[in-house]
Each structure stands twice: as C-alpha cells, then as structure tokens.
Chains A and B, each alone.
Chain A
C-alpha cells in the first residue's frame, strides 16, 4: 500500500532533524525553563508575599506554569510555521524540488504540521517534566494540560505557514515576531490574568486565539473551570487550526504551482 504522501514529507523532516535538532530543540526547551525559573521563582517570591485573589490565591508559579506551557507551544509552532516554510520556498527552495515529485503543495503543508506536532509534543513533555521537578504542577495534571497546549501550537503553525508561504521578503519575519508573536506571548493571560488589563485591552486579549489556548491549558493543569465554556475555547483553537489547513492548501498551491 502506498504511504500517504504527507507521511513521506514527515519522514524527510525527521531525517534532516538529525542534523539540526541541537540548535532548535535546546532553544525551544531552555527558553521556557528560564522563564519558569525567573518569573516563577524570582517574581513569584514577590507576588506570593500575600495571597493574590486574581490568581485564585494560588502560588504564582503554579498559576504561571500552564500559561507558559501554552505560550511556549505557540512559539514553537510559530517557529515551525515560519523557518521550514521559508527554507522550502525561499532560502534553500527544497519545496520547489519536492513538488516536481508526486508530492503536492498541500502535502508539504500537512507534512510540516505533522512534524511540528511531534516536535511541540516533545518540547512540551520536557517542559512538563521540568515544571513537575520544580513542583510547579503535578505530573499527571501537567501531562493532561499538554493536550490543549500542543493543539494551540499546531494551530499557530498551520495559520502562520499558510501566510508565510506567500512571503516574498525576509523583513516581514522580524515584523511578524515583534508585532504578532511577542505581544501574544505577553498579553494572552500568560504572565498575568487579562482582567488586570484596561477594559478595552482586556476585551482585545480575550479575542486572541492564544488566550483561549492558555485558558484550556490552565483549566486542565489546575483542575478549575476555564473563563468561558469549554466548547468556546476549544472552538477558537480548533477553528484556527482548521482555517490554517484550509487556507494553506490554497496558498501553498498558489506559491508552488504558479
């Protein structure tokens, strides 16, 4: 039986990863762990002098950990949705060679997403293990929370790669990071509840897809209900994923089969 084409692309990712895993994985694991140490332990010392009602009177580290897990998954997904796609279309142009084989543009999109799913899961597992070591989350709850975190990361990978595939200038990359990824990372209820923001900013934050991913992850990690009903949060994240796949199947084709 023929191997589904997206899986052949996935295998290609796995093969080339043998040469690149050090740089990409160490960074993806180390950064959230450093955040956990600095924010959770350092800043947490200050925050936890008195119980904080806005945090549900939880220790700051416990409250922060799921947010950081979801936001790190988003960052990993964003990286996997940009660098491999730009490498394929612009830097090395391997995508242009791949579509001369039976591989179709949408297979490249899906294969990259599958690879991102594996990578984000591994990075998330390491993060959960480290966080459990810090005593920031019980291991089982942390593993449970990994589900929505990975889903969030993959959704961002799908959405970003669908747009980035059409990118013709590398300068957009810096803009994307500065004006999209970093603000999302900071203001989606990762480090503090969105209720702390001025009302208008808070409303905007609640529309950001990362906030919904953070809410789902935090609810499972803490065993508390999320801010809005579960289906709403889940619908936004799954919707982002579905839109990314649907739009990507069009944009990848437009770029690679002119």
Chain B
C-alpha cells in the first residue's frame, strides 16, 4: 500500500513569497503526524496542498498514492478535513450541517442519517442533534466539525490547529476523541503551534520554520536530540544585573537562553544546578525545574519562542 503522504521538494509560492520551501515528507498509514511551528511557518499551506485544495507550485506530491492535481476529487473523497475556522452554518441544526456535507460526497441519504447518529454519539453530542449550531460552545462546535470531517468515513483526517482558542477542558475532550480515531487506525495529520498538543497526539512530527523543515522525529527523540533532560527556569530580581547573571550562569557550562521574562538553562540534573546557582551568588526570585518540552526544541532550533 502506498504511504499516506509522499512529498519530495514540495514547494508552494504565492507570487514572490515562498510559503513552503522544498520540503520532503513521508507519512505512513495509521500514524499521527504533526506539523509544528509558529504562525506563518508554512504548515497550513503544506496541509492545503496535501488536502488537494491548493495547487502544488513545484515538487512531487502523492497522497494515498494519488496525484492531488489530476485526481483531486477522488482524493478528497477519502480525506476528512477539520479547518482552522469551523465554517458551520450557524442558522442550521447540527444534523443539517452534517447532512449537507455528507451529500457533497454523494452518500445516500439513509447512509448520511445513520452516520450522523454514529458520529454524534462519537463526539458526545447526540442530544444536540436537532439543536441550532449558533448557541453551542466553542468546544461543542469544534466537535461538530470533527463529526463533519468524519461523515465520509475518511482514511486520513487533516486537522489545522484543532484546539486553538478552546479552554483546557474542551481541549482534553477533543484530544481524547482524536486519540480514539488514531486507535481505529485512521491516519491523523495535524498542524499546531501548541507543544502539549504535539506531545499528546503525534507519533512523529516535523518542526517547520519559514517554510522549511528544521527537524523531524518523535517528540521524545526530538527532545533527546535538541534539548536536555531538564530545564531550569529562573526569574531574576529586577535589581539584578541580568547580563552579569547570565554570564555567571553560562560559566557553569550549560546552555542558557535569556528570554524577556525569564532565563532558561538546559541541564541534566536540575536540583544540582540550582544548588550551584546559589553557590555562585545569583539569587533568582523564582526557580522552576521542569522536563524539557518541544517548546525548548523549537527555541533551540530557531532561536525564537513558538507563541509570542
């Protein structure tokens, strides 16, 4: 069976602006694959080419073995898409939104009806079937969009920033549903600028910056390769000379990142390092030792924080 995505030197340009710059990708069936990067990194443009809604400027792209350029409609019939914006018809009911979309795939009306029952149960909105969309909460609307993306029983689901703008509880509900899709063997492709989301959902991911892939691997492998086991976050007192303090910290031999509001130090043993800091006479107002995350990987690779 062909891989879900096979891209070589895939490029997307809008006029003179290069949104996606010669990226290579291969995504296997059943994988949960993430595009991680800040806004404008080219994640959405890459996803739109894969979803056959944006022409490839240059390079080779096959999705489920099909050419998105020549076999676009055939390919889209096998994909589910969760766009960044819900794009639900607010005046219609939950079921009507799903029914209209299901008919776009030419599914028989009886099949659409049955699928709506199953899918609303899956996204835990059965009792909202006849409810108008407008008054639903953001998390509920997002779940309706997930159900809409599944109406054609897709092999692959593309999710563009699936939980952006949702409260923590709603995000966890959504992650749980997406995890179940993965368990069913559905391939998930998602873009995100949230580290925790990538760590929760992705088997493998690429880190994108300015249209290029700057790293690739599993979340754990990326952290192992580009960060240390632990990170110590220090907040310095406003009276402390920051440059001098950073110099002192750097003399410990560890990598130091001075952010506007705090200083990060990449170490293997956080507690030992904190003792060393005090011994060297730096008195931070707050100290936090935590596990390294993909946020640290991104900072390391690009010198910038993911979310400003």
- What string of 1s and 0s marks CB contacts (under 8 Å) between A223-258 and chain B? 000000000000000000000000000000000111
B122 at the interface (CB under 8 A from A): no
B90 at the interface (CB under 8 A from A): yes
Are A100 and B89 neighbours in the complex by a CB distance under 8 Å?
no
Are A8 and B83 neighbours in the complex by a CB distance under 8 Å?
no
Are A100 and B100 neighbours in the complex by a CB distance under 8 Å?
no
A183 at the interface (CB under 8 A from B): no
B237 at the interface (CB under 8 A from A): no
**How many B residues face the partner with a CB closer than 8 A?**
30
Q: Which of the residues A8, A15, A96 comes within 8 Å of B87, measured between beta carbons?
A: A96
Are A97 and B87 neighbours in the complex by a CB distance under 8 Å?
yes
B297 at the interface (CB under 8 A from A): no
Q: Which of B46-96 contact A (CB under 8 A)?
A: 51, 53-55, 72-74, 76-77, 79, 81, 83, 85, 87-92, 96
**How many A residues face the partner with a CB closer than 8 A?**
26
User: What chain A residues lie within 8 Å of B106 (beta carbons)?
Assistant: 2-3, 5, 8, 102
Are B91 and A16 neighbours in the complex by a CB distance under 8 Å?
yes
Are A101 and B101 neighbours in the complex by a CB distance under 8 Å?
yes
**Contacts A101-B77, A257-B55; A19 near B92 (Cβ below 8 A):** yes
B232 at the interface (CB under 8 A from A): no
User: What chain A residues lie within 8 Å of B99 (beta carbons)?
Assistant: 15
B191 at the interface (CB under 8 A from A): no
Q: Which of the residues A5, A15, A96, A256 comes within 8 Å of B100, measured between beta carbons?
A: A15
In Å, the complex CA distance between A5 and B104 comes to: 7
Counting chain A CB atoms within 10 Å of each CB, which of B54, B90, B99, B100 scores highest? B100
Closest B residue, CB atoms, query A97: B87
- What string of 1s and 0s marks CB contacts (under 8 Å) between A1-27 and chain B? 011010011011001100110000000
A132 at the interface (CB under 8 A from B): no
Counting chain A CB atoms within 10 Å of each CB, which of B90, B104, B148 scores highest? B104
Are B91 and A100 neighbours in the complex by a CB distance under 8 Å?
no
In Å, the complex CA distance between A98 and B53 comes to: 10
In Å, the complex CA distance between A109 and B212 comes to: 36
Are B105 and A94 neighbours in the complex by a CB distance under 8 Å?
no
In Å, the complex CA distance between A100 and B78 comes to: 10
B152 at the interface (CB under 8 A from A): yes
Are B96 and A16 neighbours in the complex by a CB distance under 8 Å?
yes
Q: How far is the CB of A234 from chain B (nearest CB, A)?
A: 35
User: What chain B residues lie within 8 Å of A5 (beta carbons)?
Assistant: 73, 104, 106
In Å, the complex CA distance between A8 and B105 comes to: 8
In Å, the complex CA distance between A161 and B214 comes to: 43
Are A257 and B54 neighbours in the complex by a CB distance under 8 Å?
yes
**Contacts A11-B103, A100-B79, A101-B152; A92 near B73 (Cβ below 8 A):** no
Closest A residue, CB atoms, query B74: A102
Are A94 and B152 neighbours in the complex by a CB distance under 8 Å?
no
Are B101 and A97 neighbours in the complex by a CB distance under 8 Å?
yes
Are A12 and B104 neighbours in the complex by a CB distance under 8 Å?
yes
Are A16 and B87 neighbours in the complex by a CB distance under 8 Å?
no
User: What chain B residues lie within 8 Å of A20 (beta carbons)?
Assistant: 91
Are A103 and B104 neighbours in the complex by a CB distance under 8 Å?
yes
Q: How far is the CB of B115 from chain A (nearest CB, A)?
A: 14
- What string of 1s and 0s marks CB contacts (under 8 Å) between B35-55 and chain A? 000000000000000010111
In Å, the complex CA distance between A73 and B100 comes to: 27
- Listed A/B pairs (15) with beta-carbon separation below 8 Å: A11-B100, A11-B103, A16-B91, A16-B92, A16-B100, A96-B83, A96-B87, A99-B53, A100-B76, A100-B79, A101-B76, A102-B76, A103-B104, A104-B72, A257-B53
